[in-house]
Each structure stands twice: as C-alpha cells, then as structure tokens.
Amino acid sequence: MDKSTLLLLAIVLAVFGLSIAAGHPAWGTFTGLAIILLAAGLAAGALPLQSQDYFEERIGPSQRISNGLITLSSAAIVAIYAAGYHRTSSAAHKFDLQIPQQRISATVAGVPPVAKSGIDAAPPLSPSVAPAIKKNNKRPSAPPRKAGPSTGSDSIGAPRAASAPKTTNPQAGDAARPAAAAQVRYKDGVYLGLGSCRHGDIEASVTIQDGKIALVAISQCLTRYSCGWIAPKTPGGGFPDLPSQVVERQNPKVDYVSGATESSYAFADAVIAALSKATE
Amino acid sequence: MHSPMRLSQPCPKRRSDGVLRTVALMGTFVTIHVVGHVVGHEGELGQTVQREEAVDRAFEWFCRVEECCTRFEPNSEVMLLANQVGVPVQVSTILYEAVRFALAVAEESDGAFDPTVGYAMETRGFNREYRTGKTIRSTLDSSRSVNYRDVRLDADAKRITLLRPLIFDLGAVAKGLAVDLAARELQPFKDFAIDAGGDLYLGGCNPDGEPWSIGIRHPRSDHELIDALRISNRAVCTSGDYERRAPAEEHGHHILDPRMGSSADAAASVTVIAPNAMLADALATAAFVLGPAEGIQLFDRLGVDGLIISPGLDRHATRGMSDYH
C-alpha cells in the first residue's frame, strides 16, 4: 500500500471515528476515540515517510553537489576524455540528424567598421562546416612540416580521425543561412590584413583558392605574444603549419600571468581587412 | 584539503627542446608549453616528436569543445538546442558534461553562476565571432527570462530537456574543460603549461625545475601584478571586470549577474586555484558575482583556494592561499 493511500485511509477513518463519537451515543465515545487513534496511527506511518522523501528531494542533491563539485568536475573530464573524439562527434552527428528542420533562425550580419560585402560573404571558418576530409590533399600554401611529426600525428590521434564524421553535418544549417553567403566568390590569391588591440598589431594572411577561404594564418605579429599563431580551423582542420618553437620564457619574473580572458578580436579585424581586399 | 604545493624534491633542470605554441582559439589566445628533456638524459630527445603530436592532440580538444559549445556559430550543438523546448535531446558527451557541471555550480552558488544567460549575453552585445568578426543574432521562440532551473537532465541517456527556449553560455566552463582535456593529453610529459587567455593549468615544473611561477594581473593597472604564486599540478583562473567591455552598456563588462540582469560589480578580480580549470573558472565567475564575503565562503565550503580583489582593491583570500607563496 503506498503512502498516499495510507494517508487517505487514515483521514477516512478519522472522519468516521469523529462521527461515531459525536452522533452515536449508543456506540459510545470510546469506540469513536479508538477509531480516531487508529487513524492517527496510520497517518503517523504515512507522514514521516513522506517528509523524509521531501527532505531527500529538496536537500539531497544540493548537499551531494556541495561535497562533490571537485569530484563531479574530475569525473566529467575523465568521461569526456575516455569517450574520445570519435564517440562524442558521432553523438553530435546523431543529434544533428534528430533535427533536420532546425527552428533557430540565426542571421549573420556584417560588422559596421569594415566593408560589408566582405563579411556577409565570408564562408564560416568553423570546422563543423569546413570540409575536414580535404585535410591532407588540399592545403595550398602550407609547407608540410618535418616528416616525423606530421605522419605520426595522423596515425596516432583518435582525435584526428574523429573530425571526419562532422563533415556530413551541416546540411540543416546551410539551409538556414542567408542565400547570399553561398554566392559571393572571392578572388583567388593571398591577402593581408591588419588588426590592432592594445597589446599590439597582428597581420593576418588569408589564402583564397577556388573562390573560397583555404587558409587563415597570422603572418606577422607585433605584440607581446609569440608569433606562432594561426587560425586552426582551416580546411585542413589541424595545425600543420604551426612552427614549433624553441622554448623561451615570456617574462623573467613569472612564467605565465593569470587574468581576465584576453580577447582575440584583433585577429578577427585582421581577417576581415584581408577578406575585404579579396572582394574588391 | 590543501595538498602541499612545495615539492619536497626540486624538479631536475630541463633543456630547452620543449614545445611552445600559441593559437587563436575560443575567442582568445591559447598557449601550450611542454617542457624539454631532463639535463643528462639526452637519450630522451626522441620524445620531441611525441611532444609535438601530443600538443597537436591537445589543441584538437580545444577545437572539439569549442565546436560543441560555441554561441557564435548558429549550427553548433549548443545553438541547435536553443529552441528544442520540452523535447529530450540527445547530446554529445562534451555538451552533456559541460551543461551538467554548469548546472551543479549554479545550484551550489544559488544562481550567482548561471549557464542559461546566453541570450542575455548576446543582447548585451557579446555576439561577435572572434575569428571572422561576424555577429550572430538568434531568435528564440520566447524571450521570457530563464534560469538554470529551466533545464532537465537525463543522466542515463545523456539527454537535455529545456523547459523554455534558452541559449546556454558555456564560455567559462567550456574553456576550462578544454584546458583540462588538453592537460590530460599532456599528462605523460609531467611538466607543461596551458594558458587559455589567462586561464591556466600548470603541470609539474617550469624549465628551471621549479614549480611554475604565476603572476596575477592587477585589475586596474595593465602591466602590474597584484600577486605572484607558485603552482604545480593545479589550475589557476581569474575573472575580472577588465578586458571585455559590454558593447551595449556604458560601464558594463562580460560578467553578468544572472540574478540582476546587469554587469556584476561586487569584485574587480577573482582568482581561483583548483584541481582543474573547469571548476576554477566557474567558481571564479560565481565568486565574482557573489563578492568577497560570500565568495570566500563558497571557496571554503568547496575546498578550493582563492583570492578576491574588491572594487576598492582590498584583498580577500582563503587561508590556503599562503601555501602558494
């Protein structure tokens, strides 16, 4: 018998008991009282159980979290790492199939300061749309790295292998994108653009091949950062062009500085400037 | 609760054949630094190739996490979720775990940290993709105010159900998570540093064979440090009211008080030291909203260390912070 039934029965008994005690002097007050007592007993059996449940529901989870945020975060990292790229991206793929008609309408608009046409037309650089499969055969201006690392990384990385399933995803999204995006073609070539932030200037080089962005890289930086930058989300999908550098200490006093996240909009500005030249 | 930071035996000195790379990712600059071989162990030179490959894989984790969790790409997993109301949606492990953790921190901080502020952030002007400069404008089926209680999780099937249309802002959690996954990838090398625009994980020792020396930026003076710490095998993350101003608000910045709907102003800078960066970053954000008194309480309760600089530049630190000097 579940608790709510028990409670209901107790209430019915209590009412019955009261009516006997009040309305049937012949049966006597004692019988009535006895029935009320029985009802109280039943209720006592039911109520504490319920309040215990209530306690667990309301207090329990928060209490568990309180003791376990460190555990929870560590477990999450282990779970994701163990699942690896392959499983997570195939799950993402499944997710994409679930919603062929995505309802979120997102428009991509130009940013005022730079030539509008250039931005509206910019094909997304994100790997979810980039043809990751072209990875090895379509990397225009990229001088292949030393043989050792590049061959090795392809065979070793479960991570690498897994970027492939993603390539089939974006149909749903592409449909929602403004039609103009697909039509504007850039002129082939390599274009440079400059972006600035208070840490200094960045020069980006954008390589256009077959009317599309093939590679975005930092060609020069005059900031306090080292010059190994590149936008990794190239059609290559990887980091083939990043020069490995001899380790240099950034600062004689401290190794690194922790602070509020520094944004890399200067990089975006440089890319936009380069793209605007490609459409002129 | 506080494991000893100072190493009983100093690390051996390293040669400079390590790997150091910086890449523009997740709206900031990510640097990965793997320290070179031990002096006297030249035979380990073959490890250079392995280091390069591991660093490749570490950067791949950043891409993978960003891909799932970015608000700036209309087709990212998290954005596709936004208007799927009332339907349990199966998501990737990365997104599920990131959301689950973010909700747990929200619960723990009583809403001072809230991952459901994505749409609010977008309308405040944090809507620009950092790589291309494109802005994003999303349409929700309803713009009613939402909070972390409007989300249900199904742990067994890894499904997320939204009770109202909402956009997750997983910025803090996702960056930390990527740092932690990269750190796991680099674990075999023991001595390494990952810097995601000021969110750090420090493994082992620096090239001098000492625990990493980490400066905490002064919130009001660009080239000054407000503290310097010695860190080994810990994450350090700082939230501040500087660096990212809200384009749509005169004095606004990038940390929203989810309870008020405006920029938080209880602190100028919050630094957290924790076993992993996901926790450190989320708690730094939460404490930034809570302010010094409640923030320190939160750190003590959860067993992490932290330093909170008030808007008046007073220092509030957990007891354990002295272990890192």
pLDDT tens digits, A261-270? 665 566 667 7
- A202 strand-pairing partners: A195, A221
**Which residues of chain B carry a pLDDT beneath 70?**
1-17, 37-46, 129-133, 142-143, 222, 243-254
Task: List, for residues A92-131, the tens digit of each pLDDT value.
Answer: 554 444 443 333 333 333 333 333 333 333 333 333 333 3
pLDDT at A131: 33
Domain tally for chain A?
Answer: 2
Summary mean pLDDT of chain A: 54
Domain B19-65+189-324 in CATH 3.40.720.10? The answer is no
Query: Residue B289: phi, psi to the nearest 5?
Result: -75, -40
* Domain annotation covers residue A80: yes
At B36, list the tokens.
């070179």
- B236 strand-pairing partners: B200, B273
CB environment B191-229: b (16+ within 10 A), e (fewer)? bbbbbbbbbbbbbbbbbebbbbbbbbbbbeeeeebbbeb
Inter-chain touch B184–A77, beta carbons under 8 Å: yes
* Domain annotation covers residue A256: no
In chain A, % of residues over pLDDT 70:
31
pLDDT at A102: 34
Inform me whether the pLDDT recorded for A177 exceeds 80: no
Chosen from A65, A67, A69, A203 to mutate, greatest number of chain B CBs within 10 A: A69
Inform me whether the pLDDT recorded for A59 exceeds 70: no
Does any CB of chain B come closer than 8 Å to the CB of residue A271? Answer: yes
More confident residue, B47 or A137: B47
**Range of lowest pLDDT (A56-65, A183-192, B253-262, B275-284):** A56-65
Inter-chain touch A261–B76, beta carbons under 8 Å: no
Mean pLDDT across A51-68: 43
Tell me if domain B19-65+189-324 and domain B72-169 are identical in fold.
Answer: no
pLDDT at B250: 61
Query: Is the same domain home to A56 and A19?
Result: yes
- Contacting residues of B for A159, CB less than 8 Å apart: 57, 60-61, 64
Inform me whether the pLDDT recorded for A184 exceeds 60: no
In whole angstroms, what is the distance from residue B276 CA to residue A255 CA?
Answer: 19
* pTM summary value: 0.65
Inter-chain touch B195–A106, beta carbons under 8 Å: no
In whole angstroms, what is the distance from residue B46 CA to residue B176 CA?
Answer: 31
Residue A208, helix vs strand vs coil = strand
Q: Quick one: closest CA in B to A153, which residue? A: B53
**Range of lowest pLDDT (A187-196, A219-228, B189-198, B213-222):** A219-228
Q: By C-alpha distance, which of B148, B160, B26, B179 is closest to B97? A: B160
pLDDT at B296: 97
Q: Quick one: closest CA in A to B53, which residue? A: A153
In whole angstroms, what is the distance from residue B40 CA to residue B165 CA?
Answer: 60
Q: How confident is the model at residue A10 (pLDDT cuts 50, 70, 90)?
A: confident
Sequence ranges of the domains in chain B: 19-65+189-324, 72-169
Mean pLDDT across A130-138: 33
Distance from CA of A60 to the nearest CA of B (A): 12
- B159 strand-pairing partners: B90, B154
In whole angstroms, what is the distance from residue A2 CA to residue A9 CA?
Answer: 11
Does any CB of chain A come closer than 8 Å to the CB of residue B278? Answer: yes
Distance from CA of A247 to the nearest CA of B (A): 5
Inter-chain touch B137–A107, beta carbons under 8 Å: yes
Task: List, for residues B176-200, the tens digit of each pLDDT value.
Answer: 999 999 999 999 989 999 999 889 9
Does any CB of chain A come closer than 8 Å to the CB of residue B276? Answer: yes
Query: Is the same domain home to A42 and A147?
Result: no
Query: Is the same domain home to A270 and A148?
Result: yes
Domain range for A144: 121-152+178-243+263-279
* Domain annotation covers residue A109: no
Provide DSSP, B64-99. Answer: HHHHHH-SSSTTSHHHHHTT-BTS-EE--HHHHHHH
Place of tokens 């775990």: B97
Nearest to B193 among A88, A232, A256 (CB): A256
Query: Is the same domain home to A7 and A126?
Result: no
pLDDT at B38: 63
Query: Is the same domain home to A83 and A183?
Result: no
CATH number of B72-169: 1.10.3980.10
CB < 8 Å & 24+ apart, contacts of A248-255: A248/B16, A248/B20, A249/B207, A250/A224, A250/A226, A251/B215, A253/B213, A253/B215, A253/B228, A254/B213, A254/B214, A254/B215, A254/B225, A254/B228, A255/B193, A255/B202, A255/B206, A255/B212, A255/B213, A255/B214
pLDDT at B276: 96
What lies within 8 Å, CB to CB, of B99 at 6+ separation is: B91, B115, B151, B153, B160, B168, B170
Q: Which parts of chain B are beta strand (E)?
A: 19-25, 28-34, 89-90, 135-139, 151-154, 159-162, 192-196, 199-203, 212-217, 225-231, 234-240, 256-257, 262-263, 269-274, 305-309, 315-317
In whole angstroms, what is the distance from residue A127 CA to residue A104 CA?
Answer: 20
pLDDT at A73: 93
